[in-house]
């Protein structure tokens, strides 16, 4: 237990420091802009490039791993969509944001720091692959469903062009693709360049977690959605279980890859869910509340998942 506390205290402590700093200094939301820019366009891309470029190419081509992980994630997404649409009678647009709230974890800001801290460098490749491909698919699914709901007024051609542009030029995607190229071509990186990448990568986790704490503080809890009763357990409990079951059912993956995927799946709702809701004017306050509530509860649930993973209670093979 002391080992788990030593892992989580600096992790959630940085989020708390950011939260307290925002509450005490009363800085406007715009003050966070340049820090977010640094995180998204420099620090996290450097981390993803470092992880991927220094990995043997054969480990980077596990299409079966990516497909299985994404299938489990979108099984949760579809389940929540059906519940919202049929049981709650919500609109297509509302169901879309609700489903992302239960299936889109904060893998970009929280994932790399926690997984590498808890599991070591062996978790680097699965973490980078999950973040890259899940984000790419989310960038496609969100506008596509919003267009189907009628909340995206762009023409079909403009919508497709914008999606392609967003996916192809996103810093996470570009940095991961560059890492793939370097690994595949066995390019030797100059020492000075490697040191620059290392410096930027080391800043990724602390800056991202601090910024997340600030973001939570700037979005006070105004409205607790009724859907929170099933979104929270779906995100923090069902999602990691679904990922674990799917990966062990397919089989053939290293234990640390399964552990990394489960750890990323148990993370709270991504702040991007609020951004998507804000972009389309749908479920904004409730998305913000969901992010805050899942983050608070994740202190307990992530701790429990880490205990399960690190104590060996997570079976390496569920199916014979």
Instruction: Compute the average pLDDT of residues 12-29.
Output: 93
Q: Is 252 helix (H, G, I), strand (E, B) or coil?
A: coil
Tens digits of residue pLDDT in 3-14:
788 888 888 999
Residues 193 and 225: their CA atoms lie apart, in Å, by 48
Checking if the pLDDT of 170 tops 90, the result is no
pLDDT of 318 reads 65
Residues 287 and 277: their CA atoms lie apart, in Å, by 7
pLDDT of 319 reads 61
Q: How many CA atoms lie within 13 A of 287 on its CB side?
A: 27
Q: Tell me the pLDDT band of 164, cut-offs 50, 70 and 90.
A: confident
| pTM of the predicted structure, to 2 decimals | 0.91
Mean pLDDT of the chain: 91
Checking if the pLDDT of 320 tops 60, the result is no
Checking if the pLDDT of 123 tops 70, the result is yes
Tens digits of residue pLDDT in 73-91:
999 999 999 999 999 999 9
Tens digits of residue pLDDT in 299-310:
999 999 999 998
Q: From 272, 270, 281, 275, select the one nearest 152 (Cα to Cα).
A: 281
| Alpha-carbon distances, residue 236 vs 228, 265, 295 (angstroms) | 12, 8, 9
% residues pLDDT > 90 (the chain):
68
Tens digits of residue pLDDT in 34-64:
999 999 999 999 998 998 898 888 888 899 9
Residues 176 and 44: their CA atoms lie apart, in Å, by 10
Checking if the pLDDT of 256 tops 80, the result is yes
**DSSP β-bridge partners for residue 269:** 105
Tens digits of residue pLDDT in 178-220:
999 999 999 999 999 999 999 999 999 999 999 999 998 988 7
Dmax over Cα atoms in the chain, in whole Å? 58
User: Which segments within the chain are labelled E, that is strand?
Assistant: none
């Amino acid at each position: 237990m002391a080992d788990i506390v030593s892992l989580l205290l600096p992790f959630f402590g940085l989020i708390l420091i950011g939260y307290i700093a925002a509450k005490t200094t009363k800085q406007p939301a715009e003050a966070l802009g340049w820090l977010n820019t640094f995180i998204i366009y420099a620090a996290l891309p450097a981390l993803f490039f470092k992880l991927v470029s220094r990995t043997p190419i054969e480990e980077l081509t596990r299409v079966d791993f990516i497909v299985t992980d994404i299938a489990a994630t979108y099984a949760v997404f579809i389940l929540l969509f059906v519940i919202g649409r049929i049981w709650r009678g919500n609109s297509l647009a509302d169901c879309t944001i609700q489903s992302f709230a239960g299936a889109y974890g904060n893998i970009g800001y929280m994932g790399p720091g926690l997984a590498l801290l808890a599991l070591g460098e062996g978790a680097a490749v699965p973490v980078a692959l999950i973040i890259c491909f899940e984000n790419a698919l989310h960038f496609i699914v969100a506008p596509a469903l919003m267009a189907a709901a009628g909340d995206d007024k762009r023409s079909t051609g403009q919508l497709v062009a914008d999606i392609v542009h967003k996916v192809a030029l996103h810093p996470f995607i570009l940095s991961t693709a560059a890492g793939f190229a370097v690994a595949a071509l066995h390019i030797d990186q100059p020492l000075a360049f490697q040191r620059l990448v290392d410096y930027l990568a080391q800043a990724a986790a602390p800056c991202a977690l601090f910024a997340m704490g600030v973001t939570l503080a700037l979005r006070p809890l105004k409205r607790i959605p009724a859907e929170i009763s099933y979104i929270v357990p779906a995100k923090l409990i069902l999602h990691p279980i679904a990922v674990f079951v799917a990966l062990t059912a397919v089989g053939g993956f290293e234990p640390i890859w399964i552990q990394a995927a489960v750890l990323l799946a148990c993370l709270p709702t991504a702040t991007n869910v609020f951004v998507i809701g804000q972009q389309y004017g749908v479920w904004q306050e409730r998305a913000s509340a969901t992010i805050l509530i899942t983050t608070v509860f994740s202190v307990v649930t992530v701790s429990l998942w880490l205990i399960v993973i690190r104590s060996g209670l997570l079976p390496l093979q569920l199916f014979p």
